[in-house]
Structure formats: C-alpha cells, structure tokens
Amino acid sequence: MSAQAAQALRHADNDVGVHVENISKSYGAGESRTTVLDKVSLTIRKGEFVSVIGPSGCGKSTLLKVVAGLSGADSGRVMINGKTVREAAKDKAIGLVPQAPALLPWRTILDNVSLPITVNPGANRGRNLRDPKELLRSFGLGHAIERYPAQLSGGMQQRAAIARAFVFDPEILLMDEPFSALDEMNRDQQRMGLLDFWQSNRKSVLFVTHSVPEAIILSDRIVLMAAHPGRIAEIIDVDLPRPRNEALYATDAFRDLEGHVRTSLRKVMMEAARV
Ligand SMILES: Nc1ncnc2c1ncn2[C@@H]1O[C@H](COP(=O)(O)OP(=O)(O)OP(=O)(O)O)[C@@H](O)[C@H]1O
C-alpha cells in the first residue's frame, strides 16, 4: 500500500468528507493509451478546504470529474460522507461550480439559482434547501436578483453560479477554476467573497486552481500534482490562522508559504517539461 493510501485510510472515520482511494484513469487505447491519474489517494475532512494545483495536463480537472461522478475511474474508489458517488449525487450532496457560470440567458438570476430546486419539487421532500434569495444576498447579489445574466459582470455571474451550487446545501463542493476567466482585481474580490461565505458555511471543498496566492488564502491544505502520469507530488499544510482576509497577503507567513509552494511547483513543472 502506498504512503498516500495509508494516510487516506487513517482518516477513514466520521471526520471524512471525501475519501479518494487509489484512483487510476487512462485515456486512449493501445500505443496511444496515457495514464492521466496514477493511484491518487486523498482524504478531505468535513469542512476542510483543499486546493489542487499543478502543471497543465496533470489531471486536476479529471480528478474533480471523477469525484463528481461525471467521469468513471479505471480502478480505485471515491466515497463521499461514507457513500458512493452515485448515492451522494442522488442525495444532492455534491455541489459543482464549473469554470464558466453556465447560466440560462433567458432566466433571471433568481430563476437560475432557484431552478435546481424547482425542477422536481417532489424529489426534494426531506431535503435541506437553502433560500435562493438569501443565498444571492449572501453573495452580494441581492440588488440583482431580477436581472438577466447578460446584465451582470462576469464576476457577478460567477458568484450567482456559486450561489446556485449551494441551494441543496451540499456536503461537498467541487470547483474547477471558477475565477479563471476574470481579471486579477475582480478575481481577488470574488475569492474574498467565497472565503467569507465559506468561513460561515463550512463545507468540504475540492478547488482546482492555477493561482498559488488563491490556493493559499483559501485552503487548509494544497495538493500539488505532478504530470505524466498525474499523481500527487506533495501535500502542503496551510497553517495560517482563520478567519482570513486580504491582510494575510502582506504577512511574512503568507510570503514564506508562497515561496515554498512556488519552489515545489517549479520542480514539478520542470519535470513535466522534460517528458
Ligand atoms: N475526454 C478525454 N479524452 C482524452 N484525453 C483527455 C480527455 N480529458 C482529458 N484528457 C487528457 O487528460 C490529461 C489531463 O487533463 P485534465 O484536463 O484533467 O488536466 P488539468 O490538469 O486539469 O489541465 P489544465 O490545468 O490545463 O486545465 C490531458 O493530457 C488531457 O489531454
């Protein structure tokens, strides 16, 4: 058993939100077959924020898709709060925020966010539902609920997409570079909004990003992946106090950690470039 798998199993108790065990996945057949994920094991505790960072093509999105149940693995297993991904998805325990907000242009923001709970009301009996209006207010969109997506900025649209992911009050949240399309200032504002919301709505989060500062300010741990094949190279604890805010960027502790993450990232990038 690998050290990663052993570490993951040690956490196999009630504290576990997401348990990824020995996940492997390949694409293609014959000579062109490539291993995208090679025995990836990882545990995310309940209420823990974990970011995944690594070179382009190392399998970050693929890992997220496997955890979301959107893509099957060749081997290994994923458990979410002790349930299979299929059961967790059926219970609406997984919230997904894609790279692009994917809002329906002909529906208002409120209708977009309400849509998941209005499609099949009968199936929602007994479920914990969040009030879409209240969610939108928490994300600073209270004034925009009757507007259409095209009338909002990119950052506001993405905030609406994040609010939508919370309507079923999911146990875990999966986010694939949700702020990557935004300019740096807007991006920072959105990440602070997410940080504030998450700090008072603690969920297990798996967050894919290319940004080192973003990973540090948001996360409890950073999973650094290496490529060819995609695997976990290092797991870095973000031992910085919470609640956090922008002031953290200017601290020595933040800068030290940023230096560490960048050095490790450079190492895996150079390794990936040699393949
Ligand atoms: N459906 C698919 N069919 C074949 N190959 C795929 C498929 N999806 C992903 N891949 C390949 O798997 C590898 C990992 O892709 P993935 O998107 O998970 O990487 P990533 O780390 O998220 O990349 P990026 O940082 O550029 O978004 C890449 O080489 C990609 O080309």
Q: Write down the pTM of the prediction.
A: 0.91
Q: Is the CB of 92 under 6 A from ligand 1?
A: no
Residue nearest atom 25 in ligand 1 by C-alpha distance: 56
pLDDT of the residue at 126: 72
pLDDT, mean of residues 7-27:
81
Cα-to-centroid distance, 25 and ligand 1 (Å): 11
Residue nearest atom 23 in ligand 1 by C-alpha distance: 57
Range of weakest confidence among 8-12, 98-102, 217-221, 237-241: 8-12
Cα-to-centroid distance, 117 and ligand 1 (Å): 32
Give the pLDDT band (50/70/90) at residue 31. Answer: confident
Residue nearest atom 12 in ligand 1 by C-alpha distance: 36
Cα-to-centroid distance, 162 and ligand 1 (Å): 23
| Atom from ligand 1 closest to the CA of residue 64 | 18
pLDDT, mean of residues 196-217:
94
pLDDT, mean of residues 38-50:
97
Q: Is the CB of 209 under 6 A from ligand 1?
A: no
Residue whose CB lies within 8 A of the most ligand 1 atoms, among 51, 61, 74, 180, for a mutation test: 61
Give the pLDDT band (50/70/90) at residue 3. Answer: low
Highest mean pLDDT among 69-78, 109-118, 134-143: 69-78
Cα-to-centroid distance, 243 and ligand 1 (Å): 34
- Look over the chain and give the mean of its residue pLDDT values, rounded to a whole number: 91
pLDDT, mean of residues 174-178:
94
Give the pLDDT band (50/70/90) at residue 273. Answer: confident
What is the interface pTM, i.e. ipTM, of the complex?
0.97
Residue nearest atom 3 in ligand 1 by C-alpha distance: 27
* Position 122 pLDDT exceeds 80: no
Contacts of 9 (CB under 8 A, 6+ apart): 1, 21
pLDDT of the residue at 53: 98
Q: Is the CB of 149 under 6 A from ligand 1?
A: no
Cα-to-centroid distance, 60 and ligand 1 (Å): 8
| CATH 2.10.10.90 assigned to 3-93+170-274 | no
pLDDT, mean of residues 139-162:
93
Give the pLDDT band (50/70/90) at residue 56. Answer: very high
* Position 4 pLDDT exceeds 80: no
Residue nearest atom 29 in ligand 1 by C-alpha distance: 57
* Position 105 pLDDT exceeds 70: yes
| Atom from ligand 1 closest to the CA of residue 28 | 4
List the chain domain ranges. Answer: 3-93+170-274, 103-169
Highest mean pLDDT among 10-19, 66-75, 265-274: 66-75
Q: Is the CB of 58 under 6 A from ligand 1?
A: yes
